[in-house]
Each structure stands twice: as C-alpha cells, then as structure tokens.
Structure 1
C-alpha cells in the first residue's frame, strides 16, 4: 500500500521513464515539484530517491507499467487525480520534447485514473506553456 505522495511521485517517475531514459531535466523537475508544491509539504524529502527507485524497480517486472498505474489509481484520492496527471505532464514537458512513448503513457494514465478529456487538454496546454522554449 502506498500513500498519495508516493502515488504522485510514481506518476512523475513513469512520465520521466516512459521513453526509456531519465533525463536530468526530468529528474530536476521531479525534485523541484516535491520540494515546492504544497501537496508535498508533509512528505519526507529525503525519501524521494528511495520512492523513485522503488518505482523504477517495479517497472522491471512483467506488466510493470500496468502494475504501477494500478497502484497509483488505487491509492490516489479522486481529488488528486488531475494533480497526478498535471505533474506527469510537467515532467514529460520538462526536457522540451514529448516522445511518442511519453504521450502514450500520458494517454494511458489519463484513462486509467479517469481524468476527463477537457481537463486533460487544459493541463497539457498549461504544461506546454510553462516549459515552452524559443
């Protein structure tokens, strides 16, 4: 059983790992989010590396991504589902390019945690605007 902090971090780590690599910009984004967002105010920040490692370990088993997404869905309060999707979008956008694998992950996450399409579109547009580059 994981808590809402871990579920949110798992959503971000999956976004970072979806393309098969963890870019420094994605890891830095996760770190910044955990350090600054109010939802993580009572999270023990020293546990971030351990939580991220546990998530990547789960990905190595057969159907790992499905298992992790199931854990996210089961342990995330419904009022934090759009938050999880938004954080995953921020991590995907952090390196300036969303790969097909990352976009497929976001679509899978959106469907599994039941974020409606209109909310998802707004979240995606916001992430794109925040991480835009010239």
Structure 2
C-alpha cells in the first residue's frame, strides 16, 4: 500500500516553508531554529497553532526532501495549502529564516529562487521582501 502524500493546513504549510529554508543548506542552525520558534510564537498567522506541532511538521517536510523532486513536491503542497495572499507570507518567513544566521549560502539562494517560482511570486515582490528582510537584520 502506498502512503498518501501529506496535505498541509495553511499554518503547517507556513512552517514547512521555514523548515525547507533552514534545511536547504543541509544543516539547520540554532539561529534558524530559534527564528522559526519565535515567528510561530509571535505572528498573527500562527495565533491558534501550538508550537509543539513544529516537530511533526518538520519531520514531514524533511521526509519530503528525501524523495525525488522533494523540493518541488513540497512547494506544490505548500502552494496548494495556502490562499494566494499567504504565499507572500510563506516567502517572507523563508527570508526571515535565511537571514537568521547571517550569511546566505549558494544553496539557500538557490532555494529562495526555486521557492519564489514555486509560489508563483512576481520577481519584484520577491525582491522587495528579500530587501526588507535584509534591512531588518543589518548591524551597526
């Protein structure tokens, strides 16, 4: 019997976007994990999402990455779970996680490009989101 593909609720899809970003360079830093936890606790989109659910969503997302075309499949699941207006939110959350540990690796940059395409976001909108995230984490 084949396992059915997972289906995400909107909040789970948003968490999966963060997990995929954090895992895109094959290592999830403490800063990225802390950022994910903070965003889930603080943002209105997660008002009725319990932080303890992060572990289950993370496991599901990482399982998707182990499959052939895993990122593409995960992006499809995320896109299908989110209303169009929350796709920008998913991209923003991915950018926030990317900025959490400072420098972006080539793998992370490639993931953001693939994720933008997967979410069907306009390049200018994505660029504005990326620039806003970068501006938030500038140091003096």
CA–CA distance in 2 between the matches of 1:111 and 1:60?
Answer: 21
Deviates more, 1:111-120 or 1:20-29: 111-120
What is the CA-CA distance between 1:61 and the residue it aligns to?
Answer: 1.8
> What 5-or-longer segments of structure 2 have no aligned partner?
1-6
Query: Stretches of 4+ moved more than 2 A in 1?
Result: none
Aligned residues: CA RMSD: 1.0
Aligned to 2:64: 58
Aligned to 1:44: 50
Larger gyration radius, structure 1 or structure 2: 2
CA contact (8 A) 1:73 1:113 kept: yes
SS across alignment from 1:98: coil
Count of paired positions: 134
Query: Is 1:122 matched with 2:117?
Result: no
Query: Under a length normalisation based on structure 1, what TM-score does the superposition of the two structures give?
Result: 0.95
Deviates more, 1:18-27 or 1:47-56: 47-56
CA–CA distance in 2 between the matches of 1:91 and 1:112?
Answer: 18
CA–CA distance in 1 between the matches of 2:17 and 2:70?
Answer: 13
CA–CA distance in 1 between the matches of 2:79 and 2:45?
Answer: 17
> What 5-or-longer segments of structure 1 have no aligned partner?
none
CA contact (8 A) 2:72 2:118 kept: no
Query: Is 1:108 matched with 2:105?
Result: no
Aligned to 1:99: 105
Deviates more, 1:70-79 or 1:55-64: 55-64
CA–CA distance in 2 between the matches of 1:109 and 1:119?
Answer: 13
What is the CA-CA distance between 1:118 and the residue it aligns to?
Answer: 1.4
